[in-house]
Amino acid sequence: MVNVTQAKAKLTKLRSTQNSTFDDDKHFSALDRQDKFYIAQMLIGNPIQFVYVLVDTGASLFWTQCQPCRECFHQSYPIYNRRASFTYQKIPCNHPRCNYGEPGSIFRCVNGNCVYRLGYGDSASNSRTEGFASFESFRFLVNDNGNAETFTLLFGCSIRNLHFGFANDEDNRISGILGLDLSQNSLASQLSDVFSYCIVPYDDNYPFDVHPHKLRFGADVFIPPHSIPTTNYVRVEGKTYYYLRLLDISVGGSRLNFPPGTFEPSPASGFLIDSGAPFTTLTRSSPNGLNVFEMVNTAFSRYYDSLNLARYHAHPDDVFRVCYRNRRNFRDYPSMTFHFQGADYQVDGRFVKFRYPGDRHFCVPIMDDESISILGAYHMQNMRIIHNGQIRALQFFPANCAGDHF
């Protein structure tokens, strides 16, 4: 989780339907979880094959491992076989969707084929995927009775995939990444500009195999009739991430009073939301020179010190800096609030601590980065997250996510 979060922070500083339309019907994909990753089951090809992909609002292309494969990582389910599908099509270089000559395009033209090579993170992790830009039919459920509609979508048929940490899991089901950012190649841009998800608390023993959750699209996204917290996306030139305008942060109800400009969005700074980043990241060097990571951690330290909790001195290499020894029946974990323009996003105290299994200490699960700040999945637990492209805004409200299987 730590390695993935670090890689996601570094990645922010680097780098459609064909024959059908997405109407107002309800559409969803079944959600499951592998360790701390939320994964979606996708139904692909004709005859149908199924794959599990990591739900990632900080990624562009939707790709999956693809047979015949030159170098694929371990997955416990069969790798998608393009030769076994009647509806698979490679995209030629002269197709309009292969914009390989345009600035910022992820595609290249090789031997008449539209291809890509994507990196995830820094040179140390070196996670990368290569393959063919392709069209394939995908089925999306419209109700719990198994009824579905089929859409032809652009996706990545990846034949060389290296250094993805989740593949080290002996029971790894993840075969690729479901990109849901604002780029034209993401699944969100091709299907519907409104989608939502709700992350079940990681410490809940929730039976996903009995009650799968749903990644909801279009009319299946429930937006309450009353007003809900809403904050607009911020456009950043050359970037397709979901940047938000963060004004301030509170710990335990006390605002830290960051000055204007601390989280100013730019290609090298700012605040964004990313479901593919396990932990929240805060910058050590904001545009106005503040160490936000240190200031927030100091606020947590003052809170816990005031309650006379004993500090736990973590190893210098540990990424979480503020740790305390558990006290029997202690429950006074402070909330953390992100004050966005137009909306306050409050993280319940239950999710502002990371308790180590079988250990006697807990830590504040916030990581640092040189410049970027990211709201990660750990701080999205029990929050209904709605990406509403119709109004170019993020909407959210507290929810019992374990009850979202209906």
- What number of other Cβ atoms are within 10 A of residue 111's Cβ? 6
Q: Sketch the domain layout of the chain as residue ranges.
A: 2-218, 230-400
In whole angstroms, give the CA distance from residue 366 to residue 169.
Answer: 24
CATH superfamily of 2-218: Acid Proteases (2.40.70.10)
Q: What is the pLDDT of residues 142-175, one digit of tens each?
A: 666 667 789 999 999 999 999 998 888 889 999 9
Candidate from 9-23, 52-66, 113-127, 314-328 with smallest mean pLDDT? 9-23
Mean pLDDT for the chain overall: 87
Looking at residue 2, what is its pLDDT?
Answer: 59
Looking at residue 73, what is its pLDDT?
Answer: 95
Residues 6+ apart with CB under 8 A from 317: none
Is the fold of 2-218 the same as that of 230-400? yes
Q: What is the pLDDT of residues 189-200, one digit of tens each?
A: 998 889 999 988
**Is the CB of residue 312 less than 8 Å from the CB of residue 324?**
yes
Looking at the predicted structure, is the pLDDT value of residue 388 above 50?
yes
At 405, is the pLDDT very low, low, confident or very high (cuts 50, 70, 90)? low
Looking at residue 208, what is its pLDDT?
Answer: 60
Looking at residue 380, what is its pLDDT?
Answer: 95
- Cis amide prior to 278 (ω within 30 degrees): no
Torsion of CA 378, 383, 385, 391, to 10 degrees: -130
Scanning the structure block, which residue is given the tokens 């029971």? Answer: 171
Looking at the predicted structure, is the pLDDT value of residue 113 above 50?
yes
At 49, is the pLDDT very low, low, confident or very high (cuts 50, 70, 90)? very high
- Reading the block at residue 162, the tokens are 């290296």
State pTM to two decimals: 0.88
Q: Beta-strand (E) ranges in 233-335?
A: 242-244, 246-251, 254-255, 271-273, 280-283, 323-325
What share of the chain in percent tops pLDDT 90? 66
Looking at the predicted structure, is the pLDDT value of residue 82 above 80?
yes
CATH 2.40.70.10 for domain 230-400: yes
How do strand 26-34 and strand 213-218 relate by DSSP bridges? antiparallel
